[in-house]
Structure 1
Amino acid sequence: MLIRMEIPVDAPGIDSLLKRAFNRESEAALVRALREDGLLTLGVVATDDEGGVIGYASYCPIWIDGEDHQWVALAPLAVDDAWRGQGIGRQLVYKGLDTLNEFGYSAVVTLGDPSWFHRFGFEPAARWQLRTSWPGTEAAFQLFTLADNALDGVSGEVSWPAPFVHPVLRTGH
């Protein structure tokens, strides 16, 4: 198995993995839209020995009260069912955080299971008066800071790129 940054030839495998992992089209359509719109900050893949995509994590830009603070969102994160329980999701997250830190990003947010993301150092975003426009996401909204000053003067509503807000427009459903 290899964990690396996504390259163009991975796109069909990523698409297939996301459809299988989520048993629907929306996450695959989201990643395609982010990629097409130039909003895919980072894609990290896990590949098997034949180069097949068995895990994926994508990161895209976000804004706080309309301002760019060099923050990104992790979404989606998927591992093929046959490969779960082997630490691949953990490796994808760590590789993404390390790479984003090297690129100079300040923080990462995600909507996910707090107990799972806590092991990486993610904390509830609400502690810093950060919120989303999606009702009922408060407990799942998590934050990981990459820079010591990431939270200086930052609070408010976090917004995601348009493909998150209008996914139905991208899938044609």
Structure 2
Amino acid sequence: MYVRHERQGDEKAIRDVTVAAFEGHPHSDQSEPLIIERLREAGALSVSLVAEMNDDIVGHIAFSPVTLTPAESGWFGLGPVSVKPEVQAQGIGRQLILEGLEWLRAEGAAGCVVVGDPAYYQKFGFRNESALVFLGCAPQYFMALALSGAMAAGTVAYHPAFGGA
């Protein structure tokens, strides 16, 4: 398995992986493939990595800019992250997250936020930060990781692609 940046022609495989990964998931409204497509169309898919095994795309991760109020630049949101069900629990998602965060660090990003399972994302250094708020989300599921400098404070908003109709 190796991780690389998305390239032209990967769109259908990314969609298929994302659909399969979230199918029947109790915390999904099945909008994840549309979110990725909307981010791509808006030019807001800042980091889009795929995991390949035997020339087959088996995983994908997206990072997109988030806004903070009061204004703080250089922050990104992680997600969605998807792995084909038949190869889950083999470290593919972990590798996608690690390489995506490393890419953000190398580009000088200030930090990253995620909504998800605290037991999973805390392994990567994400923590619940009371100074950062994502309205409408239970605080224990919203976590942040400072990548350079101090932790930000304020209210976070994801790109409109996450809520578009």
> What TM-score, normalized by structure 2, do the two folds share?
0.92
- Tell me how far apart the structure 1 counterparts of residues 30 and 89 of structure 2 sit (CA, whole Å): 24
In 1, Cα distance between equivalents of 2:113 and 2:37? 20
Question: Judging changes above 3 Å, is the alpha-carbon distance between structure 1 residues 39 and 150 closer, same or farther for their aligned structure 2 residues?
Answer: farther
Q: 1:109 matched to which residue of 2?
A: 113
CA distance in 2, matches of 1:162, 1:156: 18
Structure 1 residue identity aligned to 2:140: A
Q: Is 1:59 paired with 2:57?
A: no
Which residue pairs with 2:35 in the alignment?
30
Query: CA offset at residue 66 of structure 1?
Result: 5.8
More helix by share: 1
Count of aligned pairs: 160
Q: Is the 8 A contact 2:65 2:76 kept in 1?
A: yes
- For the residue of structure 2 that corresponds to 1:47, the secondary structure is strand
Greater Cα shift, 98-107 or 62-71: 62-71
Contiguous gaps of at least 5 residues in structure 1: none
Name structure 2 gaps, 5 residues minimum: 24-28
SS in 2 for 1:124: coil
Q: Does the C-alpha gap of structure 1 residues 7 and 150 become closer, same or farther in structure 2, counting only changes over 3 Å?
A: farther
CA contact (8 A) 1:132 1:159 kept: yes
CA contact (8 A) 1:2 1:48 kept: yes
- Identity across aligned pairs (percent)? 29
Following the alignment from structure 1 to structure 2, what is the Cα–Cα distance between the partners of residues 62 and 55?
23
Q: Say if 2:4 is the partner of 1:4.
A: yes
Q: Distance in 1 between matches of 2:52 and 2:57?
A: 5
Question: Matches of 2:62 and 2:150 in 1, distance apart?
Answer: 21
Aligned to 1:76, which of 62, 80, 91? 80
CA distance in 2, matches of 1:71, 1:16: 28
| 8 A contact 1:79–1:88 mirrored in 2 | yes
1:68 deviation in Å?
4.3
